[in-house]
């Protein structure tokens, strides 16, 4: 089972500049573990010490926010597209 994982610009230095990775796994947890095996330290940027998705990271499976699915346990099907999106903050009020 393989899926495409879109890597955001801030994490591409960990993936040798790649913006898409073909990953193997049946759950989001397995996909993240696959990424960690191939790109050490990427998991710590996505997950906290308890293994849960960090508050400032959003992950989508086929445009569905995994927080509204089963979080890190969300099922992944062959061909799914996974997007890792760091939350953006800032700006100013004028």
Phi, psi of 77 (to 5 degrees): -105, 155
The tens digit of pLDDT for each residue in 64-92 reads 999 999 999 999 999 999 999 988 665 55
Residue 8: Cβ within 10 Å count: 14
Would you say residue 93 lies in a domain? Answer: no
The tens digit of pLDDT for each residue in 18-46 reads 999 999 999 999 999 999 999 999 999 99
Write b or e for each residue in 66-78: b if 16 or more Cβ atoms lie within 10 A of its Cβ, otherwise e. beeeeebebebee
What's the CATH code of the domain at 66? 3.10.20.30
Would you say residue 60 lies in a domain? Answer: yes
What does pTM read for this prediction? 0.89
Backbone torsion region of residue 75, taken as left when φ is above 0, otherwise alpha when ψ lies between -120 and 50, otherwise beta: beta
Look at residue 93 and tell me whether its pLDDT is greater than 70: no
Look at residue 12 and tell me whether its pLDDT is greater than 90: yes
Q: How far apart are the first and last CA of the chain?
A: 49
Structural domains of the chain, count: 1
Domain that holds residue 37: 2-86
């Amino acid at each position: 089972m393989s899926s495409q994982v879109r890597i955001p610009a801030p994490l591409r230095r960990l993936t040798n500049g790649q913006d898409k990775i073909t990953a193997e796994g049946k759950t989001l947890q397995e996909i993240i573990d696959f990424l960690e095996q191939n790109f050490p330290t990427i998991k710590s940027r996505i997950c906290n010490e308890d293994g849960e998705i960090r508050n400032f990271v959003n992950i989508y499976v086929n445009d569905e926010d995994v927080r509204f699915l089963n979080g890190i346990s969300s099922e992944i099907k062959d061909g799914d597209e996974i997007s890792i999106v760091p939350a953006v903050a800032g700006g100013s009020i004028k």
